[in-house]
Amino acid sequence: MIDQTRLPDEEVVLVCRDVPALVEAIRRLAIRGAPLLGIAGAYGVALAAVRGDSVEGAAEALAGARPTARNLAWAVGRVQAAHSEAGTAEEGTAAALAMSQAIAAEEAAASAEMARHGLELVPEHARVLTHCNTGIFAAGGEGTAFAVVAAAHRAGRLTHLWVDETRPLLQGARLTAYEAARSGMPYSILPDSAAGSLFAHGAVDLVLVGADRIAADGGVANKVGTYPLAVLAHHHGVPFVVVAPTSTIDLATRSGAEIVIEQRPAEEITHLVGAPAAPAGSAAYNPAFDVTPPHLVTAIVTERGVASPVDARGVVSLCDSAQNCVKR
């Protein structure tokens, strides 16, 4: 996989030869994005099986590497189950690898379907605002929300893409802008704090974001800074659309208020490119995610269709007969 911390300066292939190395890569955000974390976690369990390491220990370490991302624990659990249900150790290894490959294929297929469903919500001449990174560096295929943006660009519906820089680690400026430039999209990067100005000037027609976990009531955990965008969109009458595969939906978490939010190191706030940006010893509040309540979400787009309005009934409708949404 590409080491995302090195972008946009250089594309460096990251090779993890054991599970501890993979866990470290996930924790330092060299590998990130909920669906991609699921794929990486799945292959991590298979890697442990191939190496003859403890599959149970690998699964526990991987599932706990980033607690908010639903896809990580979900995919790890599927591969661990496939391994444990096999007969011999050799059969278990083969089953783990096959399940990992199946999950990667499912996520790529889901990306294409999300793009197809989401495109129907994009108006002509759309000026779209997005947050964080939801493209090839975050998911299978072309991504989640970015896959919809890419589909709109190909269809001639995208007039401009507004890219939130996404503090503190600049996933929007470093990654989304990188993908937009490679795709030939018209785009601009803005400070997160400038989003209100865009809305006030009537320069946003649609907000498209991804999700790291969706609760049973439709509450959405996503990169910190998403909730303020939803409030702004609601105030200005702009559709706020979440794009995520059904593997992100967690029916066992009844509401967004119950989602565990990962807290990141203070140094991500108090330092800039390794240099101090605040007085020594400054405390910092650095949640990786925030939660947007369902009444602020216009629609949730998945590979199985669109839920709107967003409420418990709509979320369950996306999960009927879908193994990805089985309550665990």
CATH class of 114-325: alpha beta
What are the pLDDT digits (tens) for 245-290? Answer: 999 999 999 999 999 999 999 999 999 888 999 999 999 999 999 9
pLDDT of residue 327: 56
- Estimate to the nearest angstrom the gap between the alpha carbon of 272 and the chain centroid: 24
Distance CA(287)–CA(265), nearest Å, equals 9
319 pLDDT band, cuts 50/70/90, is confident
What are the pLDDT digits (tens) for 104-117? Answer: 999 999 999 999 99
| Domain extent listing, the chain | 4-108, 114-325
pLDDT of residue 328: 44
For the chain, the average pLDDT equals 95
Distance CA(249)–CA(305), nearest Å, equals 13
- Estimate to the nearest angstrom the gap between the alpha carbon of 151 and the chain centroid: 18
pLDDT of residue 141: 94
Active-site positions read: 212
| Integer CA distances (angstroms), 185 to 170, 182, 245, in order | 19, 8, 24
Reply yes or no on whether the pLDDT at 42 is more than 90. Answer: yes
Q: Which of 204, 181, 216, 186 is nearest to 328 (CA)?
A: 216
Q: Which of 246, 222, 260, 259 is nearest to 316 (CA)?
A: 246
pLDDT of residue 88: 93
pLDDT over 70 for what percent of the chain?
A: 98
Q: Do the domains at 4-108 and 114-325 have one common CATH topology?
A: no
326 pLDDT band, cuts 50/70/90, is low
**How many CA atoms within 13 Å lie on the side-chain side of 134?**
29
Q: 3-state DSSP call for residue 223?
A: strand
Q: What is the DSSP letter of 172?
A: I
Distance CA(200)–CA(203), nearest Å, equals 8
In DSSP terms, which residues pair with 215 in a beta bridge?
A: 250
- Say if residue 168 is preceded by a cis peptide, omega within 30 of 0: yes
Reply yes or no on whether the pLDDT at 214 is more than 70. Answer: yes
pTM score of the predicted model: 0.95
Parallel/antiparallel/unpaired status of strands 240-243 and 206-209: parallel
Domain 4-108 CATH (choose: 2.70.150.10, 1.10.645.10, 1.10.10.10, 1.20.120.420): 1.20.120.420
